Structures are given as structure tokens and as C-alpha cells.
């Protein structure tokens, strides 16, 4: 394959190419670590993270998201930088990465750096270049802002550990939910080569906790934890499979976040779904994020939300409503008495409003107008709650009836999926990926 | 007869008026009004209150001691808003706080209309301040100073100055609020200061450094290439980043105000 390796192109072109190649990585959060500046350099971090801009696709721009190089010896079918693609190849130097990060940061464009990379020569060689860039940024430039870095699967554990002491967050991408899909689409990666560095980072973080307990000023290892991402819709896995993988990642690998990335067809390949005019499966991605939220903050389990018989989310109803409709025997609950955990399970009551309710009901008995002020979405909650023993209106507690009404109230979909036509909805609702796929979830 | 204490629209001014109102009429019906936007009412006595650092300081200590630091933060943020009844609402919350069991929890009594008002004003100001942590853009002047202009609805400069001081301790920087004609200035190794109603040499802000243009170009290039065309969604972008912020932001310079979805 003819490849053009350009070393002498200008900075502007280079940045264009290497950010364009990095944009399919979803994660752009700068959260998870709270750190004041030490007064001797530049930068600080806020636990909630700070977005600095929003690109034309409505996604937040928080970090300078770039690849160190888009040269790659791997040939992952879905990736724009796969070795068999004929694209312009280029690399940054560690100095260039530092200059860009520092100058962007001081103009308040960004919250820090997100450094990923293609695999140049070998995983170790690439990891060393990344280490050189981060070392310079932290120790020479005294940068104290946020750094998110990718661990390259297959790199030496010692290198990964050293990089981890310079970064705030590390991530290794799962890429695809099952080992089988991985074998098909990412022939140079295996389940093992991905999970090994993940486990390594997890174990080192555990050790670091003890070090910090003994000595408060011990260097911190990946203080904002690790994350990963999976591509949705490139392979036939069901939502149930995907959610189970996510759940085990949270439980067994102690991940901070799992990101889902609706598959965007950038390559033509017989192994990939054909390009269609429908665009990426954004609504499906949205439902997975909602379910992910339920796992992390609402104490749900994957098997409560889906099962072998219903392996995919209802695209018309959010996962929480869907769950509640299947468990009507639990409802209605009395807002003035129900446990916090029970309130969390009511559609229309979120974490914040549940906390407010628990606080406010100590001061007095709540009625529906109070709930409204606290941010409860009554048009959804009204079928599932009572205030002082009374429901808001006379309603039947019956699955069909409530479903019909909930569908009529029209869920406020996020802008990221709004504007999709009914036709698109019904199209990928019909897609049946064959749920009796062999179960490959031996995480 | 109801007494209304009149003061100027500055935090110190309003706190001074609250001091007088508290000393004289905390048990009576009383109110606080802003000189700049006053609607005269019948059967009211008006008293003008001079700005006094001493009085303001005393009120701040009173609030912190009896209502807590969190409440003070809410009061402070509410007083920075554009609402003409802000000081009056704060005073009424202080009055209400006398009749509750734990005065430090006064801000949890959202069913009290004054508390609700202060709460929502504080939240508005806090939210806007947070937006400007995100959207402030500095440009480097020839002398190395980082310069930024913003047009916020509320006087949020003092809410964001600590953040940037901690972030850029070794930089000289300034952020100017064009609407309220205020400016926060940070010199290396000094605490930031808030400067009001100063005439600025208009030319200073046009003298950018050599490299400024290049980094602005690089950033704009990055901003454009990081978006995924298949997912383009201008509505979503607009909701997160409303048009009114864009005029001062580097990445939107020279672009049409509203680009239609393709």
C-alpha cells in the first residue's frame, strides 16, 4: 500500500490531521480530580470537569484531543488509521505536543490534554514517545492541568506504570463487546491484550491508595481512574450483552466510565455493516448511556433492565420507564415515606430530586406542587407516586394504559438524537441482530 | 409606616443598607431599594444609606456567624444579580431566619418566598459564572498580558477571579466586563483586584502579540476538525453554547452567527 509520510508539513496541517483522526474517541471529560495549582506552574483541576467549547456536532470540547501519530501497524477494520488505508501520515514531536497544550491552556481554550496514538513501530516505542511528551509537559513546563492518556495494548507494564504517574486518567479501549467481534474486526488486538493493561492499572491504583494512606504526599497514580469505550452497531451484539460487559467492567475492573460510541462508517469493508443514509445509531447509543447511568447512580443491575428474551432496549421508552412498567406491583409509592432507594426507581425522579425530597420531608409533608419545585418530572412520575396517600389524578395502574400515556407525553430527547425522523427510528428498531449469539462474556 | 432603605447597587452599598435596616427595623416591616431603579410607593418612608465598609463588614460577620458560610455565598451571589429586589429578598431571608429552629439551614426552607427568590438568584449567578469559567478566551497582547472581554448578564467577575488566579499564577491577565464596565486584573505575585468605571485605551486591546494570530488559527482549525460530520447537530451545539457568548470567543470569529444544518 502506498503511504505518504509527511514530516515537513506545517503545524496547522498536522494538527488538522491528528485531531481529525482522534475525533472518534468519545471521552472528553476532564473530571474526577480536584487539584489546586502549586503556584509554580500553570493549571489546576476541578472534580466536576469543565467544558470549554462545543463543536458543530454538539459534543463538548474539554481537552486537546489528538493522536501522537496516525501511523499504525495495526489493521482494525473500523478505524480510519488502519494500516491498509491510504491516508496522509504524520506525527507530533513531544515538544510540539507541549507547546500546543501550554499555549491553548493559557488562553483558556482547553482543560488539558487527551493524548491517544496509532501504533508506531511497536507498542513499546509508541508508549515511550507518549511518556516523553507527558514527562516534558509535567516536569519541564510544570503543567498541572488535566491529562488523559491511552495505554497502548501490548506495551511493557513498566512503561504503562511510569506513564500512569504523570496522567490523571488512563484508558484502554474495549473497542468491541465480545472476543469474537474483536477477532474479526481488530485482528491485532485480543481480549487479553486489552484487559491486561486495564488490570495492571487497576492493581497499581489499589497499591497507590495504600501508599497515599501511609504518606499523604506520595505521587498519585491515575487519580481520576480509568475509562474505556465500546463501538455500538458495528457488530451484532445485543444491548443486553453490551450492558453486561459494562457492568462487569465497573464491578471487576473498577472503571470510572464506560463510553459508547455509535458506529460511524469511515471504511468500506465486507466485515462492517454497509454504509447507509441513516447515519450512526444515535438513539441506541443514548439508551445505552441512560442504562449506564442507571447502573452507576440508581443501583440497578443489568439483568433487571434486560434479559435473554428482551435483549434490546425499547427505543421509544427510556430504560427506567421500561423497567417500572414491568414492575407495576411495586407502585405507587408514598413520597413522604418511601426509602431513598425506592424513590430513585420512580420514573421522573432523579438523584437530585430524590435527595431533595428526603431532606425536605423532614420539615413537613410534601404535596405535588412541592415536588414540582424540586425538579420532579410529574408528567412521568404521576403514575407511580402518591402524596399523603393520594395520587395526583385518578389513573389506572395498568401497563398498557400507562405506556400509552407516557408515549403521548413525548419524552424530551436530548438534542443529540433529536431531529431524527420516524422512519429512521423504525428502521433500526427492526434490525434483529439475532440474539442467540453465543455468549462471550467471560470477563 | 414601612421604612425603605435606599442604597447604591454595589455589594458593599447593599450590605450597608442591610446593616441599617437590621439595626433599626429588624422586627418591623422594612425593605431595601436600589437608588438606580426605584419605583416610589405610597405610605413609605425612604432613608438613604451611605456606602460604609465598616457596616458591610459587620453584616458579613453576622451572616457568617449565624447563617453559615454557605448561606453567605448564596447571599453574595444573589447580590451580584441584575434583579432590582435582590437586596430586599436577602433582608427578608435574614428576618425569616430568626424564626426557624436552625438558622444555618435557612436556605433549605424553599417554601419561604424570599428564600426561594435568593436561592434562584444565587443559582442564576452561579450558573453564569460557571459558564464563563468555560467560555472566557484570553488573547495575548504584545507585552505578554493575557486579555479577555466578556459581556455577562450579572456581575460575575469576582466569582471567577479566584479560579483564574489559581490557574495562572505566573501570568499577568485581565478580564473586562464590557456591560458593567468592570475589570479584574491579576499581576504576577499579587492578589487580583477589581477595577470599576475606568476609561480604557481602546488601542491596547488591538495590539496582539506576533504569535497570537497563529495560535488562534490553530485553535480554530482544531475546533472545526474535531467535529464528526455524520453527527452534526447545530441545535445541540446552540443549547450548550448559546449565541450570546460567541461574539467574544476565538473559535467563532469570522464565522456566520448561525450556521444552518446541512
% of chain A beyond a pLDDT of 90: 55
Average pLDDT, chain B: 90
Interface predicted TM-score (ipTM): 0.91
When pLDDT is averaged across residues B200-214 and rounded to a whole number, the result is 81
Question: How many angstroms away from the CA of A401 is the closest CA of chain B?
Answer: 33
When pLDDT is averaged across residues A182-208 and rounded to a whole number, the result is 91
pLDDT band at residue A410 using 50, 70 and 90 as cut-offs: low
A50 → closest Cβ in B133, B138, B215: B133
List chain B domain ranges: 2-128, 136-208, 212-262
Contact between residue B51 and residue B17 where contact means Cβ atoms under 8 Å apart: no
Higher pLDDT pick, A73 / B256: A73
Asked if residue B219 has pLDDT above 90, the reply is yes
Asked if residue A378 has pLDDT above 70, the reply is yes
Q: Of the ranges A267-281, A294-308, B173-187, which one carries the lowest mean pLDDT score?
A: A267-281
Using a CB–CB cutoff of 8 Å, tell me whether A279 touches chain B: yes
pLDDT band at residue B197 using 50, 70 and 90 as cut-offs: confident
Residues in chain A with CB shorter than 8 Å from the CB of B140 are 106-107
Task: Set out the domains of chain A in order of their start, with CATH numbers.
Answer: 4-305 (3.20.20.70), 327-424 (no CATH)
Contact map slice: B 97-116 vs A, CB within 8 A = 108-111, 116
Strands A63-67 and A146-150: unpaired
Asked if residue B256 has pLDDT above 90, the reply is no
Distance CA A158, CA A172 (A): 16
In this prediction, residue A439 carries a pLDDT of 35
When pLDDT is averaged across residues B181-206 and rounded to a whole number, the result is 85
Contact between residue B18 and residue B32 where contact means Cβ atoms under 8 Å apart: yes
When pLDDT is averaged across residues A363-383 and rounded to a whole number, the result is 87
When pLDDT is averaged across residues A20-49 and rounded to a whole number, the result is 89
In this prediction, residue A435 carries a pLDDT of 36
In this prediction, residue B259 carries a pLDDT of 56
A104 → closest Cβ in B164, B219, B233: B219
Question: How many angstroms away from the CA of B120 is the closest CA of chain A?
Answer: 11
In this prediction, residue A412 carries a pLDDT of 60
Using a CB–CB cutoff of 8 Å, tell me whether A64 touches chain B: yes
Distance CA B56, CA A67 (A): 54
Average pLDDT, chain A: 86
pLDDT tens-digit profile of B11-64? 999 999 999 999 998 888 888 999 887 777 778 888 999 999 999 999 999 999
When pLDDT is averaged across residues A198-207 and rounded to a whole number, the result is 93
Contact at CB, B250 and A360, closer than 8 angstroms: no
B233 → closest Cβ in A41, A60, A415: A415
pLDDT band at residue A266 using 50, 70 and 90 as cut-offs: confident
In this prediction, residue A430 carries a pLDDT of 36
Interface test with A, best of B109, B130, B167, B256 (most A CBs within 10 A): B167
Strands A53-54 and A60-61: antiparallel
End-to-end CA distance of chain A: 37
pLDDT tens-digit profile of A316-359? 888 999 999 989 999 899 999 999 999 999 999 999 899 989 98
Higher pLDDT pick, B201 / A343: A343
**A99 to chain B: closest CA residue:** B215
Contact map slice: B 179-238 vs A, CB within 8 A = 211, 215, 217-219, 221-237
Contact map slice: B 48-87 vs A, CB within 8 A = none
Using a CB–CB cutoff of 8 Å, tell me whether A10 touches chain B: no
When pLDDT is averaged across residues B130-135 and rounded to a whole number, the result is 95
Distance CA A59, CA A72 (A): 26
Asked if residue A431 has pLDDT above 50, the reply is no
In this prediction, residue A344 carries a pLDDT of 94
What is the 3-state secondary structure of chain B?
CEEEEEECCCHHHHHHHHHHHHHHHCCCCEEEEECCCCCCCCCEEEEECCCCHHHHHHHHHHHHHHHCHHHHHHHHHHHCCCCCCHHHHHHHHHHHHCCCCCHHHHHHCCCCHHHHHHHHHHHHHHHHHHHHHHHCCCEEECCCCEEEEECCCCCCHHHHHHHHHHHCCCCCEEEEECCCCEEEEECCCCCCEEEECCCCCCCHHHCECHHHHHHHHHHHHHHHHCCCHHHCCHHHHHHHCCHHHHCCCHHHCCCCCCCCCC
pTM of the model as a whole: 0.86
**Other C-beta atoms lying within 10 Å of the C-beta of residue B194:** 13
When pLDDT is averaged across residues B132-156 and rounded to a whole number, the result is 94
* Cell (9 digits) for A266: 469511515
In this prediction, residue A433 carries a pLDDT of 36
| Residues contacting A344, CB < 8 A, separation 6+ | A298, A299, A351, A354
Asked if residue B152 has pLDDT above 70, the reply is yes
Amino acid at each position: 500500500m502506498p503511504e505518504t509520510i509527511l514530516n515537513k508539513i506545517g503545524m496547522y496541517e498536522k494538527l488538522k490531521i491528528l485531531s481529525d483522526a482522534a475525533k472518534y474517541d468519545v471521552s472528553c471529560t476532564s473530571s474526577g480530580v480536584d487539584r489546586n495549582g502549586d503556584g509554580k506552574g500553570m493549571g489546576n483541576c476541578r472534580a466536576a470537569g469543565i467544558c470549554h467549547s462545543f463543536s458543530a456536532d454538539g459534543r463538548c470540547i474539554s481537552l486537546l484531543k489528538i493522536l501522537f501519530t496516525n501511523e499504525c501497524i495495526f489493521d482494525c477494520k473500523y478505524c480510519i488509521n488502519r494500516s491498509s488505508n491510504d491516508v496522509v501520515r504524520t506525527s507530533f514531536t513531544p515538544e510540539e505536543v507541549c507547546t500546543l497544550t501550554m499555549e491553548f491552556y493559557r488562553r483558556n481554550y482547553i482543560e488539558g490534554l487527551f493524548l491517544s496514538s496509532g501504533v508506531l513501530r511497536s507498542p513499546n516505542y509508541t508508549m515511550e514517545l507518549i511518556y516523553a511528551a507527558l514527562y516534558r509537559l509535567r516536569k519541564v513546563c510544570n503543567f498541572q492541568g488535566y491529562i488523559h492518556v491511552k495505554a497502548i495494548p501490548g506495551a511493557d507494564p513498566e512503561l504503562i506504570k511510569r506513564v500512569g504517574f504523570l496522567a490523571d486518567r488512563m484508558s484502554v479501549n474495549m473497542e468491541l463487546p465480545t472476543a469474537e467481534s474483536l477477532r474479526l474486526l481488530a485482528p491485532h488486538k485480543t481480549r487479553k491484550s486489552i484487559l491486561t493493561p486495564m488490570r495492571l492499572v487497576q492493581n497499581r491504583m489499589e497499591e497507590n491508595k495504600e501508599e497515599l494512606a501511609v504518606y499523604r504526599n506520595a505521587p498519585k497514580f491515575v487519580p481520576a481512574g480509568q475509562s474505556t469505550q465500546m463501538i455500538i452497531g458495528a457488530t451484532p451484539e445485543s444491548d443486553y450483552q453490551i450492558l453486561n460487559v459494562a457492568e462487569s467492567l465497573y464491578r471487576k475492573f473498577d472503571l470510572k466510565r464506560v463510553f459508547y460510541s455509535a458506529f460511524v462508517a469511515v471504511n468500506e469493508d465486507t466485515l462492517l455493516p454497509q454504509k447507509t443514509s441513516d447515519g450512526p445509531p444515535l438513539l441506541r447509543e443514548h439508551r445505552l448511556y441512560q442504562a449506564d447511568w442507571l447502573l452507576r447512580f440508581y443501583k440497578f443491575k443489568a439483568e433487571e433492565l434486560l434479559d435473554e428474551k428482551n435483549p434490546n432496549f425499547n427505543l421509544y421508552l427510556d430504560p427506567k420507564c421500561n423497567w417500572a412498567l414491568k414492575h407495576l406491583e411495586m407502585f405507587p409509592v408514598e413520597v413522604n415515606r418511601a426509602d431513598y432507594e425506592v424513590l430513585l426507581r420512580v420514573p421522573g425522579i432523579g438523584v437530585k430530586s430524590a435527595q431533595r425530597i428526603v431532606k425536605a420531608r423532614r420539615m413537613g409533608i410534601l404535596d405535588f406542587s412541592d415536588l414540582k419545585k424540586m425538579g420532579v418530572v410529574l408528567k412521568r412520575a404521576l403514575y407511580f407516586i402518591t402524596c399523603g396517600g393520594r395520587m395526583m389524578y385518578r389513573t389506572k395502574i395498568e401497563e398498557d394504559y400507562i405506556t400509552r400515556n407516557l408515549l403521548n407525553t413525548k419524552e424530551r430527547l436530548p438534542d443529540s438524537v433529536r431531529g431524527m425522523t420516524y422512519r429512521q427510528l423504525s428502521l433500526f428498531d427492526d434490525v434483529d441482530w439475532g440474539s442467540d449469539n453465543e455468549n462471550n462474556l467471560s470477563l | 409606616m414601612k421604612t425603605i432603605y435606599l442604597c447604591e447597587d454595589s455589594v458593599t452599598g447593599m450590605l450597608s443598607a442591610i446593616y441599617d435596616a437590621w439595626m433599626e427595623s429588624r422586627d418591623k416591616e422594612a425593605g431595601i431599594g436600589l437608588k438606580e431603579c426605584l419605583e416610589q410607593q405610597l405610605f413609605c418612608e425612604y432613608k438613604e444609606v451611605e456606602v460604609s465598609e465598616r457596616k458591610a463588614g459587620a453584616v458579613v460577620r453576622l451572616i457568617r456567624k449565624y447563617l453559615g458560610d454557605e448561606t453567605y455565598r448564596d447571599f453574595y451571589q444573589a447580590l451580584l444579580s441584575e434583579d432590582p429586589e435582590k437586596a430586599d429578598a436577602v433582608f427578608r431571608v435574614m428576618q425569616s431566619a430568626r424564626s426557624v429552629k436552625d438558622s444555618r439551614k435557612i436556605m433549605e426552607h424553599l417554601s419561604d418566598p424570599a428564600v426561594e427568590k435568593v436561592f434562584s438568584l444565587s443559582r442564576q449567578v452561579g450558573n453564569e459564572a460557571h459558564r464563563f469559567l468555560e467560555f472566557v478566551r484570553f488573547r495575548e497582547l504584545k507585552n505578554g498580558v493575557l486579555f479577555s472581554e466578556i459581556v455577562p448578564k450579572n456581575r460575575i467577575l469576582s466569582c471567577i477571579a479566584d479560579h483564574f488566579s489559581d490557574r495562572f499564577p505566573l501570568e499577568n491577565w485581565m478580564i473586562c466586563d464590557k456591560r458593567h464596565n468592570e475589570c479584574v486584573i491579576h499581576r504576577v505575585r499579587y492578589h487580583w483586584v477589581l477595577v470599576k468605571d475606568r476609561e480604557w485605551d481602546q488601542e491596547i486591546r488591538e495590539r496582539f502579540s506576533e504569535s497570537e494570530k497563529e495560535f488562534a488559527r490553530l485553535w480554530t482549525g482544531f475546533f472545526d476538525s474535531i467535529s464528526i460530520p455524520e453527527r452534526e447537530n447545530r441545535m445541540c451545539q446552540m443549547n450548550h453554547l448559546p449565541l450570546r457568548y460567541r461574539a467574544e470567543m476565538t473559535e467563532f470569529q469570522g464565522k456566520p452567527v448561525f450556521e444552518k444544518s446541512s
